[in-house]
Amino acid sequence: MVAPHFKQVLVEKVLVEQVLAEQFGDLLRTSDASRDGVLILSLPADEIHEAARILKKSGGRLSAEWATDDTPFGRELALWTAFAVPNVPDSGPDAGPDTKIDRFILIRSDVPLSNPAFPTLTGHFAAAYRFERIILSFFGIDSIGHPDRRPWIRHEDWPDGFFPLRKDAPIDAPFVRSNGSYEWIRGEGEGVYEIPVGPVHAGIIEPGHFRFQAVGETILNLEERLGYVHKGIEKRFESLPWTEGARLAGRISGDSTVAHALAWCRAVEDMAGLLVPPRGVWLRALFLERERIANHLGDIGAIANDAAFAFLLAQLSRLREDVLRLNKRLFGHRLLMDMIVPGGAAADLDAKGIEAIRTEMDRLSAEFERLVVIYDENPSLQDRVATTGVVTKKTAADLGLVGFAARASGISSDRRVRFPFPPYDELKVSEAIRHSGDVNDRVWVRIEEVRESIRLIREILARLPGGSALPSDGLSIRPQPGRTGLGIVEGWRGEIVTWVQAGPSGKVSRVMVRDPSQVNWLGLERAVLGNIVPDFPLCNKSFNQSYSGHDM
Amino acid sequence: MLRILYQTLRTGTVTEKMLPEADKEIEIVGNALKEEVHKRFHHSLTIREIDAGSCNGCELEIHAMNNPYYDCERFGVHFTASPRFADVLFVTGPVSRNMEIALKRTVDAAPDPKIVVAVGDCAACGGAFGTSYASLGAVENVVPVDVKVPGCPPSPAALIRALLEAVGRS
């Protein structure tokens, strides 16, 4: 009885690019810019739908989907899709360790200016819903068959026919509001009522609009509408020299300033073939883990506070403040902004600094563990967080969730493990995975990640290489025309994908940033269904998504 | 419960008597303005925070004003959910095109006299985002501003100092 199963596994182990090659023959071309772990293909836009089906079948996830305007190269528009595909197709719970590693497959498709359209991927990947609405809003490229053609991030009063990311649209284009309208999803039936919230919320929070349909206290549906903090970041990147982009990337989402600056720098280094000195690589990881700890501490406290347990907020925000103050003392910035620059790290650490962080970690670890016990043993708090805001494993997989939200629903998603960028290839991160997918498990994943980050920081300090944190011979970013680069980083919220493209003269032509919130906002809409309205803040805080990172 | 009491006793009071980074002059101003809040705002100065397009960095530091180290409530300062109760508006971010109307309405909803504080480099001058089709730049391009607080983001101590300055001017 063993043999057929074994055979089946072997058959499935055929690499997905071979399946694609057989399916598409000459239509499929492999770019010579492909490199270890990143395969770049090109395929006609009409076939991308079929390629997505094959990639989904082999366990792939649509990580990002975006467009470019390639008219400066003498071409027309293009659609890009990025899939994260397991190295070996996942063959069940007893699969080997290499199923834990992902590769990225990027597919480029030409889209003509005269007929800017391609068949939608929404039939295979839920994440495509919003990616394609963004492509329609910012490039005027239609996704045929998409069930929802309303604009996204672009609000209804934007001028008609204005597509900001097209090359013929100037960054300071005159803006005359039009009289558009937005069709909301409506609930009908006896006792169904609507609660509109935002964009200005009750607390010190970013702006966004939520519309609930409810019966009694139960949420029937939640519709998000975002875009309020759209600042035109992707367009602005195109007007900046390569050396200044890291500063802007560090302000895509202030709470993830390290992660975004790192993703941007890694993309640029990938594109231009720059090497980062070992000390720079390890210091970057130190900053990334410190950012993770600071955010997890603050958020666990805030979740408890939303369940009226202010004690934990006071305690954990005190620990967070300690981390920020040491950041300020050692590196000069509380949130570590502008510490990561192309080529390395802009701040360094001496022996006294290393000792200060070690002492801090010992103290933090002891204090944190005491608070974890209090979190875990408090029945009134557990009553609120357990079984609230559940996202099942299937829903999380269907939506393509990333980061701690995916891991709380039993999905391995940590890029430090699954696509380990240096120095994580040497650090061996232990991935925290829980299975209930409720508020409590999203907290628990983060508790375990604080512990792991403390361990990682100790290891980083012990192994910190000598030398300089920046290249000794200075830095020049001179990419070949048309060259692209990809940066993947696991920030505290999850996977960040940053993609850069050099123009014909080697300057910035296009920057695409996919913040984890751009997919995880879909998760919140599912998580609240059937919950009571008063639990919404708790569900929302347990995801704590970035509006700025989403709206860009 | 015993664990909670024990932890509370072990932590003690961490609230700092003096503002960190503050020099003596600001201490004097601080105490004078605390008096001012008590006298002119009836012991209670109320802030409504409006994110008009920020990257959320400023929000993190405004939050920190409430943590046990700074505990701005001891100065009689607290944050409100409704602009109707607000004496002071903290506006962050460059004003995004999509927040322009909401910002104006929220500022209008606050009763006069009100103090508008532009918090952070973006709110003060447009910062990293500047002006574009999507961003209107500094807050003063959209609503009148009384006080600007530089910094990316300004630290909680800088925010408390700026607040004291704002109240002093009113």
Q: Over the range A398-429, which residues count as b (16 or more CB within 10 Å of their CB) and which as e?
A: ebbbbbbbbbbbbbebbbbbbbbbebbeebeb
Interface of A with B in 221-260 (CB under 8 A): 227-233, 235-236, 247-248, 251-255, 257
Q: What is the percentage of chain A residues whose pLDDT exceeds 90?
A: 78
Distance from CA of B86 to the nearest CA of A (A): 12
Kindly list the residues from chain A whose CB atom is less than 8 angstroms away from the CB atom of residue B81: 202-203
Q: Is A297 exposed, middle or buried (0-12, 13-18, 19+ CB in 10 A)?
A: buried
Using a 10 angstrom Cβ sphere, with 0-12 exposed, 13-18 middle and 19 or more buried, the burial of residue A380 is: exposed
CB contact under 8 A, B56 and A547: yes
pLDDT in tens, B20-33: 555 555 566 556 66
Residues on chain A touching B7 (C-beta within 8 angstroms)? 311, 315, 370-371, 374
In this structure, what are the phi and psi dihedrals at residue A79, rounded to the nearest 5 degrees?
A: -110, 135
Q: Name the residue facing A175 among B56, B99, B133 (closest C-beta).
A: B133
Closest CB to A172 among B51, B58, B132 = B132
Among B53, B68, B79, the residue with its CB nearest the CB of A204 is B79
State residue B21's pLDDT score. Answer: 54
- Compute CA distances A12 → A30, A38, A51, A58, A394, whole Å: 22, 21, 17, 8, 21
| Nearest residue, CB atoms, B68 vs list A170, A205, A317 | A317
pTM: 0.93
Using one digit for the tens of pLDDT, what is the confidence trace for A462-510? Answer: 999 999 999 887 788 889 999 999 999 999 999 999 999 999 999 999 9
Question: How many residues are listed for chain B in this entry?
Answer: 170
pLDDT on residue B32: 65
Label residue A254 exposed, middle or buried (CB < 10 Å: 0-12, 13-18, 19+): buried
Residues of A in contact with B99 (CB under 8 A): 199, 207, 228-229
Q: Which CATH superfamily is domain A233-471+490-550 in?
A: Cytochrome-c3 Hydrogenase, chain B (1.10.645.10)
Q: Is the pLDDT of residue A193 over 50?
A: yes
pLDDT of residue A124: 93
Q: Which of residues 351-370 of A touch B (CB under 8 A)?
A: 370
- A169–B128 C-beta distance less than 8 A: no
Residue-wise pLDDT for B53-81, tens only, equals 999 999 999 999 999 888 888 888 889 99
B67 → closest Cβ in A257, A318, A328: A318
Which two structure tokens, joined as six digits, stand for A510? 């296009």
At B22 the pLDDT is 52
Contact B31/A at CB under 8 A: no
User: DSSP labels for B35-99?
Assistant: HHHHHHSTT-EEEEEEESS--SHHHHHHHHTTSTTT-GGGGTEEE-S-GGG-SEEEEESSPBGGG
Task: Classify domain A30-144 at the CATH superfamily level.
Answer: NADH:ubiquinone oxidoreductase Nqo5 subunit (3.30.460.80)
What pLDDT is stored for residue A9 in this prediction?
Answer: 38
CB A204 to CB B64 under 8 A?
A: no
Mean pLDDT of A364-379: 94
Please name the member of B55, B106, B131 whose beta carbon is closest to the beta carbon of A254.
B55
d(CA A44, CA A118) in angstroms, rounded, equals 9
Report how far Cα A357 is from the mean position of its chain's Cα atoms: 28
Binary contact (B152, A337; C-beta < 8 A): yes
Return the pLDDT at A8: 38
pLDDT tens string A412-451: 999 999 998 889 989 989 999 999 999 999 999 999 999 9
Q: Give the H/E segment covering residue B31.
A: helix B24-40
Radius of gyration of chain A (CA): 23
CB pairs A-B closer than 8 Å: 151
* pLDDT confidence bin for A5, thresholds 50/70/90: very low
Mark yes or no for CB contact B99/A228 under 8 Å: yes
pLDDT given for residue A225 in this prediction: 93
Nearest to A321 among B54, B67, B129 (CB): B67
Task: Determine phi and psi for A160, rounding to 5 degrees.
Answer: -65, 145
Q: Is the pLDDT of residue B170 over 70?
A: no
Residue B15 to chain A, least CA–CA distance (Å): 10
Q: Does B3 touch chain A (CB under 8 A)?
A: yes
Query: B7 in contact with A at a CB cutoff of 8 Å?
Result: yes
The whole-angstrom separation of Cα A123 and Cα A119 is 10
Instruction: List chain B residues with CB under 8 Å of A162.
Output: 133
Q: Which residues of B touch A205 (CB under 8 A)?
A: 51, 59
Is B17's pLDDT higher than 80? no
> CA of B31 to nearest chain A CA: how many angstroms apart?
24
**Chain A nearest-CA residue for B12:** A315
Domain spans of chain A, in order of start: 30-144, 233-471+490-550
Q: Across residues A198-211, what is the average pLDDT?
A: 91
Taking residues A250-266, report their average pLDDT.
Answer: 96
Contact across the interface for B56 and A548, Cβ inside 8 Å: yes
Number of H-type helices and E-type strands within chain B: 6, 5
Residue A155 has pLDDT above 60, yes or no: yes
Residue A169: closest C-alpha in chain B: B133
pLDDT tens digits for A23-61? 888 888 888 778 878 899 999 999 999 999 999 988 889
All structural domains of chain B, each given as residue ranges with its CATH number in brackets, are 20-169 (3.40.50.12280)
> For B57, which of A203, A254, A298 is closest by C-beta distance?
A254
**Region A265-272 average pLDDT:** 93
Interface test with B, best of A157, A172, A178, A200 (most B CBs within 10 A): A200
Is residue A533 within 8 A of residue A219, CB to CB? The reply is yes
pLDDT tens digits, A80-117: 999 998 876 545 555 554 557 888 999 999 999 999 99
Place A7 in a pLDDT band, splitting at 50, 70 and 90. Answer: very low
